[in-house]
Amino acid sequence: MEFVTPEEKSVLEAKLRALVENRPHLAKRIAEARELGDLRENAEYHAAREDQGLQEAEIRRLEERLSKVQVVGDQQKNIGVVYVGATIRIQEVGSDEIETFRLVGEHSGSNAPGADVIEATISSPFGEALHKARVGEVIAVRGPRGIKRFEIKEIL
């Protein structure tokens, strides 16, 4: 089971809807390419068929993924535990800098340099350590340069 926020589920559903709505366009492309003649040497036909196969595989992947997701929300906010969708402030032990993270099921791609909130996926080592941690707790994260410790300061 995969945990996602309501926004992440909406994005997945929109991707699926767009792919399903594109099916007639691909079928038309294949039909037009088929009319060009000999299918053995018809690059347009083979490209259209390959695109169709890739799109159908992505549709199946998204449908399967959506059937297994569990949407989480702010209902856990009041119990003081980090949950998927939570925005938290943390401080590395030994540092004065406080950073703001958001625990997500999947990156949205909005992690631009200089962003106010950094996304951490629940499947990453950092996200796994954050998940279900409590305010005031110190978590340990194993990274390429050793173990780092972070204190959970606040759940926003």
CATH code of the domain containing 127 = 3.10.50.30
Range of the domain at 10: 2-71
pLDDT score recorded for residue 77: 57
Its pTM surpasses 0.85: no
Whether 24 and 47 share a structural domain: yes
pLDDT score recorded for residue 78: 59
DSSP 66-115: HHHEEE--GGGGGGTB--TT-EEEEEETT---EEEEEEESS--S---TT-
Whether 18 and 47 share a structural domain: yes
Instruction: Give the residue among 143, 117, 118 at the shortest CA–CA distance from 129.
Output: 143
pLDDT score recorded for residue 81: 82
pLDDT score recorded for residue 55: 96
Question: In sequence order, what are the residues at sequence separation of 6 or more whose Cβ sits closer than 8 angstroms to the Cβ of residue 50?
Answer: none
Whether 16 and 67 share a structural domain: yes
Instruction: Give the residue among 94, 76, 95, 93 at the shortest CA–CA distance from 133.
Output: 76
Whether 67 and 79 share a structural domain: no
Looking at 40, 71, 102, which one is the last position of a domain?
Answer: 71
pLDDT score recorded for residue 1: 66
pLDDT score recorded for residue 118: 87
Question: In total, how many domains does the chain have?
Answer: 2
Whether 19 and 44 share a structural domain: yes
DSSP 133: -
Whether 37 and 81 share a structural domain: no
Residues of the chain predicted below pLDDT 50: none
The vertex-141 CA angle with 138 and 145, nearest 5°, equals 130
pLDDT score recorded for residue 73: 65
pLDDT score recorded for residue 25: 94
DSSP 117: S
pLDDT score recorded for residue 18: 95
Q: What is the CATH number of the domain that holds 30?
A: 1.10.287.180
Distance CA 123, CA 11 (A): 19
